[in-house]
Each structure stands twice: as structure tokens, then as C-alpha cells.
Amino acid sequence: MGVAIYDRSANVGGLLHILLPEPTSFSIFGKPENYALTGMPIFMDALIKKGASVDNMEVVVAGGALVGPISKQDLNLDIGGRTLEIVERILGESGISLRVSETGGYFSSRLSLNLNNWECLIEPFSILDESVQGEFRKPSLEELKSSMESVRPIPQIALKIIRMLQDDMLSMKDIAKEIRQDQVISARVLRFCNSTFYHRSSKIDSIDRALVILGGKTLLQLVVSACLEDFFAQDKEGYSLCKGGVFNHALGTAMISEQLANLTGKVSGDVAYTAGLLHDIGKVALDQFMNKAFPLFYRRTQELNENLIKVESEVFGIAHTEAGSVLAKQWSLPDRLKDVIMNHHNPEQASVDLDLAHLVYLADLLMSRFLVGQELERLNTDLLKSRLKRVGLKPEQFQLVIESIPEQLFSLPISTLNQPQNIRG
């Protein structure tokens, strides 16, 4: 949920992005700014310190939508409704009334505040240009096969690291040497190290320094991530809803998967990170067909809330999970990774590592529900209760799962650092 508060006379205003109503008593990941109960007082106090007056504050609230598909579990949790209640209570206790409130519903919105003229807008989060049309022809089996065979493999150093992480066989001396010899990968890794995603207080200017500061396994994760940035580069209107959307979704899923692995103790964090990073590789093979089919896909998945796997199977004749499984086989990825790539939408069907598949599903779910607007992905929650149980969590602990979203994922994406930022809810 987004909250805009501004005082025109004092020329002070700002935006607050609220993730949850209140922290859990056993929260270990959340920051106070993320919650309505603790974030609103901090936000209001910061505005007052800048000269704003409670008597002159104007408040606009937006978001809290139930982003489909909707299940009974979503209604029971009522995160948006509970968040709004706390926001209204805190404002009421301060004698502040809402100027505009557009909350709830079933569609995401964008809240923006212009600090030059104090125009505050709430707009539906939809990027579909109705003028973008084109004749779409279902690809043939030969075209699909050719597309998957022509996908450029990720660099050998990344494949080598992926296999090493699965077997916990790390030779940092040899890997660091290989990284240093590849100037392109070295530059990308250092850019990742110094990006907003990792919040480093001091600049990292060499691979050796990165190894010392970050540690071996974290550095290896960054190498694999950096190698996949180009791999996930896509057409203007493919699976991404914004520039770099699929890559940032993959990176976010990787980071949340690692957090969930550490939280539950079910699998190694390194393995979970890699599985999360690779779970959507099949979209790369199908992306070239998505361009002309985009209006159809957007309407069916975003407005009609149809299952992405179902729509892909009907329109393309193959789902991205199947295409990803083919790529994983081509690259001889470890079996547990192939299993997750194929079954992350339906983790019960995994046959190699059920725990890993369930963790990646939960991470993917959080990315699709709480960091919307990156790509065409909306996972259902029909079996959420049993899926939480599989990793040792109860439904009432789902807020703890939400709190596992790393704070840096709410920063600007690496590939869109020059794009304007809005709060989406």
C-alpha cells in the first residue's frame, strides 16, 4: 500500500511504501518502515522535522489490492484491509483525515506525487497499449525446437559454478582466477557488488576485494547472476512488463529463495539461490513468440487472471516450464535444478527435491504478489496451506514469509536505474 503525505504551505511531502500491517513478534527480517504500525509514525515524524504541520497535512492512500488469482487464503489474511485500518487509526489519532483513498479491489495501482505542483495521482497499473496489435500465428513444433536449440548457453564459468554450488565443492582460488581473466564478467560482477541491491558502504573495486568482503559463496552467486543478465535480455514486449523485468524477477526470486532456505533450514541457501535464479529460463526460449501475442497474453493473465501455464500451452503449444526443462537438459544442469524449473508452479509434482521446489514456489509467489509490474506472472494460492506445511510453516506464519523479502528488492532495479520510480500496491 502506498501513502502520500504533503504540506503545500511548508513545501514538504513524500511517499511511503507499506508492505504489511504490523511486524510479527518473531520478525527477524522486517524493517520498521515496512509496516503501517511502525512506518507511519516514522514517516510523519520525518515530515514534521522538515517543517510540515499536522494541521496542514494532506493524505492520499492507494493499493492493498488482492492481486489475482484470489483464494480463500488471501481473503482470510486480508493484508490490505488490515493495513488500511492501522493507517486510518494512526491518522485519526493525529486529527488528520484522508483526502483521497482508493484501496482494495483486484487490480494493482500506481501512486505518484509531483513535488513541483503537489499533484497526487492514482492510476491503474496497466501498460497494455490497445493500439499494439498484430496477427499471431501459433508456432510450429519445428519453430519451437529451433528456438530452444538456438538459445545461447550461459557462459561455461557460470555452469561450472552452478554445479559446484550443488555439490558444495568450492575451489575459490581457481574460480577467482577465471573471473579475473574474463574482463566482461569481472566488470559486471563489480557493478553488481556496488549496486543498490547489495547496499555496500564501501566501494568494491576488485575481484580479490570482493572475495574478502563478500565471502566465497556470495561472490559465486553474484558471478552467476551477472552472467544471466544478458541471457534474460528480451524484446520490448515479451514476458517483461518493464525494462529488465524478467531478469529482476529472477534475481529477486533467487534472493528470497535463499532467505526462505535460511529461515526454514530445509535446503542450502546457495542451492536455493541458484534454483530461484534459473526457475524461469524457459521464458527466454519462448520470448520471441511473445511479441505479437503480448496483447492476448496481457489481457488473459493480467485482466482475466488466467493461469500463465494454461495460456502458454494453448497459445504456444508449450509452457515455459517445459521449455526450461529442455534447456536445462541441453546444458546438463543438476537434476534438482531441472526438477524445480519444470515444477515450480506445481511443487507437489517435483520428484527430486520437494523442499527446494516448494521454497522456489513461495519465493516466486512473493515476487508476483508483492513486487508486481515486472513480468507476466501470477501464481495461485489454492494450495498455499499445504505448501507452507511442506517447509514447516503454518498459514498464520505467512507474514513471516513475506518479511523474508529482502529490503533491497524495493530499490530501483539494476537495469532501470534511470527510470522514474512509483509506488505500486
Helix (H, G, I), strand (E, B) or coil at 20: strand
The three cell numbers locating residue 45? 515524524
> Residue 284, Cα to own-chain centre: how many angstroms?
17
Class of domain 141-424: mainly alpha
Scanning the structure block, which residue is given the C-alpha cell 520490448? Answer: 236
How far apart CA 145 and CA 318 sit, in angstroms, is 11
How far apart CA 391 and CA 412 sit, in angstroms, is 31
How far apart CA 39 and CA 316 sit, in angstroms, is 45
Q: How far is CA 214 from CA 129, 159, 194, 219, 261, in A?
A: 43, 21, 11, 6, 19
Q: How confident is the model at residue 269 (pLDDT cuts 50, 70, 90)?
A: confident
Q: How far is CA 158 from CA 220, 225, 274, 357, 389, in A?
A: 9, 9, 10, 21, 33
Name the more confident of 252 and 69: 252
- CB-based burial label for 282 (10 Å; 0-12, 13-18, 19+): buried
Q: How confident is the model at residue 303 (pLDDT cuts 50, 70, 90)?
A: confident
pLDDT in tens, 171-183: 666 677 777 777 7
Residue 126: the pLDDT is 56
pLDDT higher than threshold 60 for residue 418: no
Helix (H, G, I), strand (E, B) or coil at 391: coil
Name the more confident of 414 and 266: 266
In the chain, where does the domain assigned CATH 1.10.3210.10 lie? 141-424
Residue 363: the pLDDT is 93
Share in percent of the chain as helix, strand, coil (round to 5):
55, 10, 35
Provide the sign of the torsion angle of the four alpha carbons 307, 313, 316, 322, taken in this order. Answer: positive
Residue 200: the pLDDT is 59
pLDDT in tens, 38-77: 999 999 999 999 999 999 999 999 887 655 554 555 545 5
Type and span of the H or E element at 150: helix 141-150
Per CATH, the number for 2-124 is 3.30.1330.200
In the chain, where does the domain assigned CATH 3.30.1330.200 lie? 2-124
**Torsions phi, psi for 35 (to 5 deg):** -115, 145
pLDDT higher than threshold 90 for residue 12: yes
Q: What is the pTM for the complete model shown?
A: 0.71
Mean pLDDT across the chain, nearest whole number?
79
pLDDT higher than threshold 70 for residue 186: yes
What is the percentage of the chain residues whose pLDDT exceeds 70?
80
**Residue 20: which of 4, 6, 42, 40 has the closest Cα?**
40
Which range scores top for mean pLDDT: 70-79, 86-95, 210-219, 339-348? 339-348
Q: How far is CA 49 from CA 9, 10, 38, 52, in A?
A: 15, 11, 17, 7
Among the ranges given (6-20, 225-239, 332-346), the one the predictor scored with the smallest mean pLDDT: 225-239
Residue 356: the pLDDT is 95
Are 197 and 414 contacting, i.e. CB atoms less than 8 angstroms apart? yes
Are 258 and 276 contacting, i.e. CB atoms less than 8 angstroms apart? yes
Beta bridge partners of 398: none
